[in-house]
Chain A
Amino acid sequence: MLEAKKVAFRYATDGPWLFQGLDIDIKPGEIVGLPGSSGKGKSTLAKTLAGYMKPHQGSIRIDGHPLQQKAFNPVQLLFQHPELAVNPRWKIKKLLAEAAAPSSDLLTELSIDESWMERYPHELSGGELQRVCLARALHPKTQYLLCDEMTSMLDALTQAIIWKAVLGIAKKRNLGLLVISHDSALISSLCRRTLDYFIQPV
């Protein structure tokens, strides 16, 4: 179980807290939704859960152990802007193989075309590049996927295709998913449980 207890974070030492005393847990095989409006700290929470940033208070543990710094990170983060999450000077082939070359089954499942391999990231569309990032994140050792507005730049049909693939893989591998989105229809059709911390009381 990926578990955050009483975590707090702020950017400036005297600035406002983005979140404080926040508890969240994601069990393997579970899909948790995180709705909320922009600029509230949803992405920052995802970055702390994935170990990119340390929370100022509280702890983040996987099955009771803290995140390891020098091993493969079982918590993988997918970003809102895939073009900023890849090295622009690497070809797709090299990007995909950054952790380990993905299996051809996975590439077919995500409809990643063989002809993309020799292209650079800017030669793919946002949706295509997001699928490349997804294939890169779906390493065999990955246990949790944090999807930060993963499909917000995609058309409805591609979005449904990607989620169908992700849901299939998540079920097969018993992955825990965190779905960060401002699209309440998407969250309610994907998730049984949501964390409403970032929803402003009206």
Chain B
Amino acid sequence: MLDIKSLSIGFSSYSFGLKKHTVLAIRSLDLSVSKKEVLAVVGQSGAGKSLLAHALLGILPRNASLSGDLTFKGKKLTPKDMALLRGREIALIPQSMTYLNPLLKVGVQIARAAELSGVSPKASWKATLEALRRYRLEEKIARRFPFQLSGGMARRILTATATIGKADLILADEPTNGLDQATAGETLGHLRGLADAGKAVLLITHDIEAALSIADRVTVFCGGVTVEEARASDFNGSGKLRHPYSRALWDALPGRGFVKSLPARSPISSSGGCPFIFFCEKSTPLCEGSLPGIKNLNQGCVRCHHA
């Protein structure tokens, strides 16, 4: 369904006078997701996970530059296609409730999303109420403004706006953020259901446990590069993980090592070499100088000189 090869995204800005410089937010990202599959993209916050979603929809700010190969349904994805496909074939569940229009009642916003994705205006209100029911929201919620909702309700509204249409690729950007376990589990279950019904789901999240509960495969993202691609079953504490960053991330879960398992140094680099260099016990001058290539290993892949 979607295939991304060595994607990079940079932002240019003026530093001093007319001097222009570019900051690379995503250096090298590789992933692919096919239909009936949930691919989780997990990783450090600030690694550019949300940018990935914005890039696929073609809604990056104007000072952003993008390079790499994006293929959607076997065709190269151009900026023109993105504008046509977004909301129709590629839908986004955004990260925060600031994506809702604060001046419009939420029911109207869901209905509008339905109309934009091809539901007839007549049927859109009915579809809206159905969507609300699916997420266990009462009908009166449709007449509320976003500020009258709790964080969890707002999240369910955002999910409803994205899934009401007929999109084949769902980009879920942190759909379970700030939800209690029961509601989060329900949202995730719904995403799994969408995948089982033949859609492709790209689940962008920082919450590994949530991701593992529904994902088929996991792509681990750190400092602007993909460092590992693993099967969800590899995250089981038996040392199957290929990259030291994936292992550190897994060990830092509150239910596991939490603060006790932290490596001594914390900042993560985004210069030329491996993004995990300051953390890694195995780092060598080689890691500092060059970004490792992607290697296939044990039915997954990893980007590490030492793997």
A residues neighboring B (CB under 8 Å): 36-39, 43, 80-81, 83-84, 111, 113, 124-128, 149, 152-161, 163-164, 167, 182-186, 188-190
Contact: B177 with A157, CB < 8 Å?
no
Within 8 A of A (CB), among B143-194: 150-153, 174, 177-184
Closest-by-CB residue of A relative to B45 is: A127
Residues of chain A with a CB closer than 8 A to B299's CB: none
Contact: B46 with A37, CB < 8 Å?
no
Contact: A152 with B255, CB < 8 Å?
no
A85 to B23, CA, bound (A): 26
Closest-by-CB residue of A relative to B279 is: A157
Residues of chain B with a CB closer than 8 A to A152's CB: 177-178
5 residue pairs of the A-B complex, CB under 8 angstroms, read A37-B182, A38-B153, A128-B46, A153-B206, A156-B206
Chain A proximity mask over B244-256: 1 for CB below 8 Å, otherwise 0: 0000111011110
B56 on the interface (CB 8 Å rule)?
Answer: no
List the 3 closest A-B pairs by CB distance, nearest first. Answer: A38-B152, A127-B45, A125-B46
Answer whether A185 and B255 are a contact pair too, CB < 8 Å, given A38-B178, A83-B96, A157-B248: yes
Contact: A157 with B249, CB < 8 Å?
yes
Chain B nearest CB, measured from A13 CB (Å): 16
Answer whether A38 and B253 are a contact pair too, CB < 8 Å, given A158-B45, A160-B259: no
Contact: B183 with A158, CB < 8 Å?
no
Contact: B152 with A184, CB < 8 Å?
no
Contact: A164 with B174, CB < 8 Å?
no
Chain A nearest CB, measured from B227 CB (Å): 13
B44 on the interface (CB 8 Å rule)?
Answer: yes
From the candidates B42, B151, B179, name the one contacting A155 in the complex (CB within 8 A): B42
Chain A nearest CB, measured from B130 CB (Å): 21
Contact: B206 with A154, CB < 8 Å?
yes
Contact: B208 with A156, CB < 8 Å?
yes
From the candidates A37, A158, A163, A184, name the one contacting B44 in the complex (CB within 8 A): A158
A3 to B3, CA, bound (A): 56
Contact: B181 with A189, CB < 8 Å?
no
Residues of chain B with a CB closer than 8 A to A80's CB: 151, 178
Residues of chain B with a CB closer than 8 A to A160's CB: 252, 254, 258-259, 261-262
Contact: A189 with B255, CB < 8 Å?
yes
Chain A nearest CB, measured from B166 CB (Å): 29
B98 on the interface (CB 8 Å rule)?
Answer: yes
Contact: B150 with A38, CB < 8 Å?
yes
Contact: A185 with B253, CB < 8 Å?
yes
From the candidates A37, A167, A182, A183, name the one contacting B259 in the complex (CB within 8 A): A167
Answer whether A159 and B252 are a contact pair too, CB < 8 Å, given A81-B96, A184-B181: yes
Residues of chain A with a CB closer than 8 A to B50's CB: 125
Residues of chain B with a CB closer than 8 A to A37's CB: 152, 180-183
Answer whether A155 and B43 are a contact pair too, CB < 8 Å, given A37-B182, A183-B254: yes
Contact: A125 with B45, CB < 8 Å?
yes
A185 to B208, CA, bound (A): 13
Residues of chain A with a CB closer than 8 A to B150's CB: 38-39, 43
A11 to B46, CA, bound (A): 36
Chain A nearest CB, measured from B26 CB (Å): 12
Interface centre among A38, A125, A185 (most CB of B within 10 A): A38
A157 to B253, CA, bound (A): 7
A39 to B182, CA, bound (A): 13
Closest-by-CB residue of A relative to B259 is: A164
Within 8 A of A (CB), among B244-300: 248-250, 252-255, 258-259, 261-262, 266-267
Residues of chain A with a CB closer than 8 A to B46's CB: 124-128, 158
Closest-by-CB residue of B relative to A81 is: B96
B24 on the interface (CB 8 Å rule)?
Answer: no
Answer whether A149 and B262 are a contact pair too, CB < 8 Å, given A125-B45, A128-B46: no
Residues of chain A with a CB closer than 8 A to B259's CB: 160, 163-164, 167
Residues of chain A with a CB closer than 8 A to B31's CB: none
Chain B nearest CB, measured from A89 CB (Å): 15
Residues of chain B with a CB closer than 8 A to A159's CB: 252, 254
